[in-house]
Chains A and B, each alone.
Chain A
């Protein structure tokens, strides 16, 4: 049975512990904390892949280290006019960046639903986050 890595599980717990209104505020905070791309990627947008399922432009890529754990680094780019998308990206970044590949592959596909936002946020937007997770997993599988 798949489980969430600790960091992501903590984030889910944080979302679950508060009211719906507060969850949106928390997502906004996450959106503001999405790290900028490192220069080597910022100057080369063609190295990122667009997740077209998101209603706003969202680009991502991953790097898998050659270590024993096959540690995964995540990189996201989304414009400031898309705070919801940025927020989702930031949750995944915070919760999954630096994790071993097999741990990320074990994250349940419906993990975004666990944030408790499905009432406040439309299904299409939620699908955007699910798509991001799916894309990350696919890219990891390709890289292994």
Chain B
């Protein structure tokens, strides 16, 4: 089974970005490897985690408390140092819900140019399904010295004005559920408010729900399967610039990972403002319904 998993991973464009649960079991004690758990549920890590893993919470650790933005270089240096992570540490991230938040954490680490950061394929669920060890004791790692590095957002992060500018020029991918894409969801009484005034999607955005990239066990689908989804169905080309978005940027981090690291796209940005920003912003166009829609005349 391990061999099959290794073969699957070796076929991706950047196989060094993904490791198996078996790899983690073998390497979690390596001095230069730090396992990071990052979940949607803030208390999940405390109920049991991979031995030696440290916890990073996307909301309280990675977001600035005041600005709607990520932490700055100094805060990041402090966070990494406190978790025992150095600039040359190999970070392996895993988490719940098919690694949404793990991919999100990886994306934030990438804003700071941390070089060697990987995901554990299948995340927390796969580790548990395989009956591997979980511990509840607090991980004590020796403090490290992480340098202050300025965040470089431009290559992988898109802001609202850039997305507006991109409509009709470069492919946009909406990774939310079909109900959110069509705008139906905010009108369904039994469903939660999306925190946006209007439901729908950004004009021209193609609907490719993130979950299409995940297999039943939470691992990523094979390269051939992913190519069928993103290259054939969605019509993207690896040379394209692409911007992905969802509701707050976590599910689209998952898609960012797929396009950038598994399929080798060179210019993929995540619009983390996503629908909670776009659906509330003044004077930006939206489209309702199942069709991508046209770029507005301007």
Contacts and interface: CB of A to CB of B under 8 A. Distances in A.
A2 interface: no
A16 B11 CA distance: 53
A87 B211 CA distance: 28
Contacts of B41: 56, 81-85
Nearest to A127: B192
Contacts of B67: none
Interface string B27-70: 00000000000001111101100000000000110000100000
A81 B44 contact: yes
Secondary structure type dominating chain A contacts: helix
A131 B42 contact: no
Interface string A104-120: 00000000000000011
B195 A28 contact: no
B190 interface: yes
A127 B42 CA distance: 15
Contacts of B180: none
Contacts of B65: 119
A38 interface: no
Contacts of A124: 192, 195
Contacts of B46: 25, 28, 83
Given A84-B41, A119-B65, 12 more contacts: A28-B43, A31-B43, A53-B192, A80-B47, A81-B41, A81-B96, A83-B41, A119-B60, A120-B59, A124-B192, A127-B192, A127-B193
Interface residues of B, number: 16
A131 B193 CA distance: 11
Interface residues of A, number: 25
Contacts, number: 46
A24 interface: yes
A87 B191 contact: no
Contacts of A127: 192-193
Contact of B42 (A52, A121, A123): A121
Interface string B257-288: 00000000000000000000000000000000
B59 A122 contact: yes
Please indicate which of the listed interface residues B41, B44, B195 has the most CB atoms of chain A within 10 Å of its own CB: B41
Contacts of B192: 52-53, 124, 127, 131
B246 to A, nearest CB: 13
Nearest to A80: B47
A62 interface: no
A132 to B, nearest CB: 12
Interface in A6-60: 24-25, 27-28, 31, 52-53, 55-56
